[in-house]
Amino acid sequence: MSDSTSAQNCKTYHAKNCKFNEKDEFQYSGQSRSAAFTIGQSSEFPLLAYGGYDYSVTLCYEKKLGDVQLKVMEEDGRKVIYDNADDSYSKRKIFTVSSTKKLIVQITVVGEKEGERNEKNTGCVGVLIEYMKTPNSGF
């Protein structure tokens, strides 16, 4: 791994690079993660989503990695709730949780071409998790 993209340098990548909109009412979650990835690599981490809250999952990564896939799945049965590959590799998803759920966030660096996996194609990937109380709606 190069000096510019080491696991240590990527540790806080999400905090510096993933903010979607400063005017959002979302609050930072300590469940956010960042890591160094190579093209073709996949990893996942747990997300405990509490009922009565809206969640924002924002993906950011170094451009040299190409496309990065974000999947949110239920822990039990691994049912896919969201897959950004079906959404033009969108970098942000906001969803409401009605009852507390254990979820899995899976990141896969798809890249652009097969056979791109090498040290120079290593870069930082960040996943910023934010939350806010679901606003009341209606009367």
CATH of the domain at 36: 2.60.120.380
Least confident of 51-55, 98-102, 115-119, 130-134: 115-119
pTM: 0.86
In a domain, 22, yes or no: yes
The whole domain housing 118 covers 3-133
At 2 the pLDDT is 44
Number of domains in the chain: 1
Q: What is the pLDDT of residues 37-85, one digit of tens each?
A: 999 999 999 999 999 999 999 999 999 999 999 999 999 888 999 999 9
pLDDT of residue 118: 56
Q: Do 105 and 71 contact (CB within 8 A), yes or no?
A: yes
Instruction: Assess if residue 139 is contained within a domain.
Output: no
Banded model confidence at residue 20, pLDDT cuts 50, 70, 90: low
In a domain, 138, yes or no: no
Helix-then-strand count for the chain, H and E: 2, 9
